[in-house]
Amino acid sequence: SFRKSLNDDKTARMVQKVGLGPLDPEWESDQLQLSGTIYVARSRSENPEIKGQRMILHKIGVTSQDVARRVADAKNDPTFLLAPVEIVATFSLQNLSRSKVESLLHRFFAAARPAELFVTDRFGKKVFPKEWFYVLPEHVGQAAQLIEDGTLHFYEYNPSDQEIVLKKTK
């Protein structure tokens, strides 16, 4: 029976009274933990348009899983331009929402997004990946640090000079 299974399993727990607190006594001590990883990937595509921009064109992504695992099937994923990629930088996230951080980074570097970058998927449909930017990995690292410090909103990315600069006050 279910009751017998609970008794036999030494790790099983049964809540009998509301308000006894967390089942794990060290629950509060490990709240500050890795919530994800920001990664910067460089395409290894043989497509001439992509290959010629390889050193400046990078994908910015955030994942909760191992980065190598995330990019393992890149050659079949339009998000990765249907080509293998190499990871050129990673930055840890702690206690931050992965989706919000990724959205912040993509909006911050939006001015450096290539307008006409696309790949044709296996169905012949054009796919316009939105996670690729003309940025250097160190700029992504700077932006990640500014997010962690809570000061990203004071800065903007200048794509013509390829630098992060303080916003001008009006």
Query: Three-state SS for 83?
Result: coil
What average pLDDT does the chain have? Answer: 86
The fraction of the chain above a pLDDT of 70, given in percent, is 87
More confident site: 95 or 18: 95
Six-digit token string for 133: 């930017």
pLDDT digits (tens, 9 = 90+) for 98-109: 889 999 999 999
What is the edge-to-edge ordering of all strands in the sheet holding 132-134?
Answer: 85-94, 34-43, 57-63, 132-134
* Per-residue pLDDT band at 133 (split at 50, 70, 90): very high
* Residues contacting residue 128 through CB under 8 Å, at least 6 positions apart: 117, 118
Within a 10 A sphere around the Cβ of 40, how many other Cβ atoms? 26
Q: What's 169's DSSP letter? A: P
pLDDT of residue 87: 97
pLDDT of residue 115: 87
- Please choose, from the candidates 36, 168, 21, the residue with its C-alpha nearest in 3D space to the C-alpha of residue 101: 36
| Mean pLDDT along residues 9-14 | 75
pLDDT digits (tens, 9 = 90+) for 23-72: 555 555 544 455 789 999 999 999 898 999 999 999 999 999 899 999 99
| Mean pLDDT along residues 125-145 | 94
Amino acid occupying residue 9: D
Cα end-to-end distance, the chain, whole Å = 71
Q: Is the pLDDT of residue 14 over 70?
A: no
What distance in Å separates the CA atoms of residue 64 and residue 69, rounded to the nearest whole number?
A: 10
Six-digit token string for 148: 């962690």
* Per-residue pLDDT band at 83 (split at 50, 70, 90): very high
Six-digit token string for 60: 């910015």
pLDDT of residue 32: 46
pTM for this prediction = 0.76
